[in-house]
Structure 1
Amino acid sequence: MPTETNTPVPADALQTVHNRTFDQIALGDTESIRRQLTAEDIQLFAILSGDVNPQHLDADYAAASRFHGVIAHGMLGGALISAVLGTRLPGPGTIYLSQSLQFMAPVRIGDTLDISVTVTEREETKKRLKLACACVNQDGVTVIRGEAQVIAPTESVSRPRSTLPEVHLSAGNDGPRRLLAEARPLGPIRMAVVHPCDALSLSAALDAQAAGLITPILVAPRTRLQAVAAEAGLSLDGLAIEDVPHSHAAADRAVELVQQGQAEALMKGSLHTDELMAAVVSAEHGLRTKRRISHCFLMQTPAYPRPFIITDAAINIAPGLDAKADIVRNAIELAHAIGVAQPRVAILAAVETVNPAMPATLDAAALCKMADRGQISGALLDGPLAFDNAVSAAAAHIKGIESEVAGRADVLVVPDLESGNMLAKQLEYLGGAASAGIVLGARVPIVLTSRADSRESRISSCAIAVLLAHRYRTTPP
């Protein structure tokens, strides 16, 4: 967070902190620092103070308040005034006696504050000072004003500036637990598990069954399935097995089970994704609907305060406008299924302005206009938005973007599969994100597992399938 001064400071101010003794301070002397407020500042202050008022932390609650958005704790401004007194005027050795504050206007994420103190009284006998204090934002509005009383130091101090530890804020990742809490009470669904002929995919089906999410129907060569189970120490007792000769037949039979009403969802086993999806999209016997099939990652990362969807990062390689419209519709349907009544959908591009040389920005603008005209419904759309503007209110504020979506997106619609796949995997492997994946646009939800998926990811994906399957019972896709 940038800090700059408005008055001359020693050349080594970045390495040392200095004070001014009482005898060196005159009436009218002033010092100030400049700080730009971030969401992380507010979160860290909430952690330290224990003040978790949703006005400061919950964007949805704050949007409906009298301030129409998140505002900083008032005493965060008080702490910044303390920083000026303790490091600049008088500086090290100052004894804080009292502080009065008036909070004149809200302080918002992205605001730049000039925090100043000015000497108004000197008491020679007790070496006491009174200082007028003020916090003024970038528009010249005084947001906080008050008065401090201190005992000024009488001896000069010059000390090396302390090196503070880096602080990384991590939101609690309760995504898998919350999904299970939502899905389990609905009861298990019948899921055709397609060719689970390795220990990972077979274990995933059994784990989802143990979690109370699915009643698995294993579609695979029986002898091969039994060999895998025996080698892995897994039990097949009581499980329904559809015996087929090979993986291609397994995909066809799983689709047939859906058509016959014997399965409400599909789960990929150890066969290739293309092999399963070829059976799903078959024009003659498949499970297609009028909508384009697409994939959604539901993710939760410590750096973002809510779960969010990335789409499409697995099915559509370079979707055109029509395909993107269905990708958005599918993501909205998933958001509704997990309880987001009006999801905020950010159409991502490299920039936040429409540029004819960048097709992703043109598609974003067209999708937003389609939403305006009712061709896409059930959500708020905005775009083009660069990634930082979609997830950071501070970044959006700096760019002057006024939007219901910017800074708090629930859905991130990527320009193509490559960018989406890299984004999702970067968040997972470098950002500590938990993820689950689901395919929408077919007659039933489809869980596409990967050999690299964690157990939690597989179970979470099955939980999403449960939520969607129960939704499809009353509202078919």
Structure 2
Amino acid sequence: MSKTFEKILDTAKAQGMKTVVVAVAQDEPVLEAIRDAKRNGIANAILVGDKEKIIFIAKNIGMDATQFEIIDEKDPAKASLAAVQLVSSGKADMLMKGLVETSMFLRAVLNKEVGLRTGKQMSHVAVFEIPGYDRLIFISDVAFNMYPELKEKVAIVKNSVAVAKACGVDLPKVAVICAVEVVNPNMPATLDAALLSKMNDRGQIKGCIVDGPLALDLAISEEARKHKNIQSPVAGKADVLIMPNIEAGNAMYKTLTYGTTSKNGGLLVGTSAPVILTSRADSPETKLHSIALAALVAEYNK
């Protein structure tokens, strides 16, 4: 089981090189991550975008652009679509967002003719290495689904569990996060949490242990679990945190990113190939971690 991003990088390297396609690749932090992914033996890349700008940036960061295939397409929409098509046609294992608006990028991902649709619910999974914890923490959804209902939450759980398993967690412990740990009819998120837990009990959600509603402290703190005398196979030991909505998820993501010394990465799943959907503000290290995660998921999905 990978408990750190160092282990994630080592595992991705050990499984052999993947190929990532970058849509609108003329972005310095993205190219730094691509450079380092190749140096670490994790992934080669096809760069789609403004060739002149890509070569200029590569020179500035000590990246040998001649080692990469570059497809010259200056129009961001066309570059995004071309990148998606390379993945959907099997010429690459995963897709990465470059210097392009997320809405434009996702339109290409969802294109009916060449996109990466599978008919499944897509969701974003963020992965954190948090100081003081003996495991990686998987958080969903922090970036894609805004106000998921029960059906969407079932898919979010399954997608998150698949990512955790790709990282070597054999039986992920899933906490459905709410403000409280009791079912309250006036708090719809607690009803969804209880239903997800029961669906897991009855085998409708497999390959993991789901419990909820659980407040955040109970999910990740064994001390809090003992203090509140909660008996649960998940409380205090959660690997996966399912957030009630995008506000809670995004706030937690940014709190961990900017308020702690955590390391992180993330990707969009539920697609026919992993999609690296990082923020423009994310560091090159975070983008590299995301490439490594996508490589593990691509291998797991074979």
So what's the TM-score if we normalise by structure 1? Answer: 0.61
Structure 1: distance between partners of 2:101 and 2:287: 17
**2:267 counterpart of 1:438:** yes
> In the alignment, is the contact (CA less than 8 A) between 1:176 and 1:456 conserved in 2?
no
Query: Per-residue deviation at 1:292?
Result: 0.7
SS of the aligned residue for 1:424 comes to helix
Structure 1: distance between partners of 2:221 and 2:196: 22
Spell out, residue by residue over 1:229-276, the C-alpha distance to the aligned partner (whole angstroms, 9 max, x if none).
345554311311122231111111111111211011011111122221
Spell out, residue by residue over 1:392-444, the C-alpha distance to the aligned partner (whole angstroms, 9 max, x if none).
12212222210000001000000011111111221222232111111111011
Q: 5+ residue gaps in structure 1?
A: 1-172
In the alignment, residue 151 of structure 2 is paired with which amino acid? Answer: D
> In the alignment, is the contact (CA less than 8 A) between 2:3 and 2:135 conserved in 1?
no
In the alignment, residue 364 of structure 1 is paired with which amino acid? Answer: A
Q: 5+ residue gaps in structure 2?
A: none
Equivalent of residue 237 in structure 2, options 386, 405, 408: 408
Equivalent of residue 34 in structure 2, options 180, 197, 205: 205
In the alignment, residue 129 of structure 2 is paired with which amino acid? Answer: Q
Show the counterpart of 1:288: 117
SS of the aligned residue for 1:237 comes to helix
Structure 1: distance between partners of 2:37 and 2:75: 24
Structure 2: distance between partners of 1:398 and 1:348: 18
**2:51 counterpart of 1:254:** no
**2:203 counterpart of 1:374:** yes
Spell out, residue by residue over 1:7-29, the C-alpha distance to the aligned partner (whole angstroms, 9 max, x if none).
xxxxxxxxxxxxxxxxxxxxxxx
Structure with more helix by fraction: 2
**2:39 counterpart of 1:224:** no
Structure 2: distance between partners of 1:201 and 1:431: 23
Structure 2: distance between partners of 1:262 and 1:284: 16
Show the counterpart of 2:72: 243
**2:152 counterpart of 1:323:** yes
Q: 445-454 or 349-358, which moves further after superposition?
A: 445-454
**2:30 counterpart of 1:190:** no
Query: Per-residue deviation at 1:356?
Result: 0.9
Structure 1: distance between partners of 2:79 and 2:188: 40
In the alignment, residue 7 of structure 2 is paired with which amino acid? Answer: R
SS of the aligned residue for 1:376 comes to coil
> In the alignment, is the contact (CA less than 8 A) between 2:33 and 2:285 conserved in 1?
no
Query: Per-residue deviation at 1:320?
Result: 1.1
Show the counterpart of 2:288: 459
Structure 2: distance between partners of 1:240 and 1:385: 48
> In the alignment, is the contact (CA less than 8 A) between 1:193 and 1:269 conserved in 2?
yes
> In the alignment, is the contact (CA less than 8 A) between 2:29 and 2:283 conserved in 1?
no
Equivalent of residue 217 in structure 2, options 388, 401, 415: 388
Spell out, residue by residue over 1:35-77, the C-alpha distance to the aligned partner (whole angstroms, 9 max, x if none).
xxxxxxxxxxxxxxxxxxxxxxxxxxxxxxxxxxxxxxxxxxx
> In the alignment, is the contact (CA less than 8 A) between 2:3 and 2:134 conserved in 1?
no
Spell out, residue by residue over 1:362-415, the C-alpha distance to the aligned partner (whole angstroms, 9 max, x if none).
110111122122221100000000001101122122222100000010000000
Structure with more strand by fraction: 1
Q: How many residues align?
A: 301
> In the alignment, is the contact (CA less than 8 A) between 2:141 and 2:246 conserved in 1?
yes
Which entry has the higher C-alpha Rg, 1 or 2? 1
Structure 1: distance between partners of 2:39 and 2:67: 13
Structure 2: distance between partners of 1:471 and 1:361: 32
SS of the aligned residue for 1:241 comes to strand
Query: Per-residue deviation at 1:183?
Result: 1.0
> In the alignment, is the contact (CA less than 8 A) between 2:30 and 2:287 conserved in 1?
no
Query: Per-residue deviation at 1:223?
Result: 2.7
Structure 1: distance between partners of 2:179 and 2:213: 8
In the alignment, residue 182 of structure 1 is paired with which amino acid? Answer: T
Equivalent of residue 360 in structure 1, options 170, 189, 192: 189
Structure 2: distance between partners of 1:370 and 1:251: 38
More RCO (CA 8 Å, sep 6+): 2
> In the alignment, is the contact (CA less than 8 A) between 1:288 and 1:442 conserved in 2?
yes
Equivalent of residue 214 in structure 1, options 38, 43, 61: 43
**2:23 counterpart of 1:181:** no
Q: 225-234 or 192-201, which moves further after superposition?
A: 225-234
SS of the aligned residue for 2:296 comes to helix
After superposition, residues 161-172 of structure 1 pair within 5 angstroms as: none
In the alignment, residue 258 of structure 1 is paired with which amino acid? Answer: V
Structure 2: distance between partners of 1:396 and 1:240: 52
Structure 2: distance between partners of 1:174 and 1:339: 9
In the alignment, residue 374 of structure 1 is paired with which amino acid? Answer: G
- Percent identity reads 41
> In the alignment, is the contact (CA less than 8 A) between 1:197 and 1:269 conserved in 2?
yes
Show the counterpart of 2:93: 264
Question: For residues 238 and 305 of structure 1, do their structure 2 counterparts lie closer, same or farther at Cα, with a shift above 3 Å needed?
Answer: closer
In the alignment, residue 222 of structure 2 is paired with which amino acid? Answer: A
Query: Per-residue deviation at 1:188?
Result: 0.8
Structure 2: distance between partners of 1:211 and 1:448: 21
Structure 1: distance between partners of 2:55 and 2:130: 38
